[in-house]
Amino acid sequence: MTHEPPAPEQTIDEIVVRLQPRFPALPEATIRDAVTRAYDELKDARVRDFVEVLVEKQAKKNLKQLAG
């Protein structure tokens, strides 16, 4: 039995939806850009189980810096 990871767009969309309430002052495009950049850094990871968690964590860190 193989486990197919969700499509990148789906993962990015889900993380953006979760982060929007945490950063209401930032435009959705800014949040999406941060998530997409974080995803791009990890998209080739051999172990995919934690990519979504790591992407969200990195995007949050970057967005906190932007939000000041």
Tokens of 39: 């995803």
Q: Given a cut of 60, is residue 1 above it in pLDDT?
A: no
Mean pLDDT for 10-19 is 97
Q: Given a cut of 70, is residue 10 above it in pLDDT?
A: yes
Q: Given a cut of 70, is residue 3 above it in pLDDT?
A: no
Query: What is the model's pLDDT at position 39?
Result: 96
Mean pLDDT for 2-27 is 91
| Other CB atoms within 10 A of residue 63 CB | 19
Across all residues in the chain, what is the average pLDDT?
92
Q: What is the pTM of this model?
A: 0.87
